[in-house]
Structures are given as structure tokens and as C-alpha cells.
Amino acid sequence: MLSLAALPSLLPNLSNLSTLLRSTPHRPRHDGHAIPEDDLLNSIWIGLLGVEALMVLGVALRGLVGAVAASR
């Protein structure tokens, strides 16, 4: 079982993540727009984040509204 004390070590270091995101070059086309593959990957990434948010919301609602277990 995973303890809550181990949780901070599993989370990414946000300062390193922001540094990585800032250092990742954006590849503009000659006309200044993003490359279509980048747009596709961005759409997929946003979609996955949305699905994850819905899953977290579903688990939270199930925990709040879920049926109370009957005692024996």
C-alpha cells in the first residue's frame, strides 16, 4: 500500500518541469503558424488532460455520493 508520506517524492519537481517547458523550442513554420503535428499533439494532450480531470471528478463524486456499506 502506498503511504501518503511517499506521495511528494512521486510528484514531479515543478521548477524542473517549467524549465523543461521553457527550454523546449517552438517550431514555427515559415508563415509563423505552428506545424500541424504540433497542433495535433497539443489537441491530444489537452484531450487526455480532460479525460483525466473527468476521471478524478468521477472518483471524487463516487466517494461523496456513493452508497454507504451496510453493517453486518
Residue-by-residue DSSP string for the chain:
---GGGHHHHS--HHHHHHHHHHSPP-B-TTSSBPHHHHHHHHHHHHHHHHHHHHHHHHHHHHHHSPPPPP-
Cα–Cα dist 45/37, whole Å: 12
> Is pLDDT larger for residue 44 or for residue 19?
44
42 versus 1: which is more confidently predicted?
Answer: 42
State pTM to two decimals.
Answer: 0.45
Q: Is residue 1's pLDDT more than 50? A: no
Cell of 50: 480532460
Write the pLDDT tens digit of every residue in 43-72: 999 999 999 999 999 999 998 888 676 666
- Please tell me which residue, 49 or 35, carries the higher pLDDT value: 49
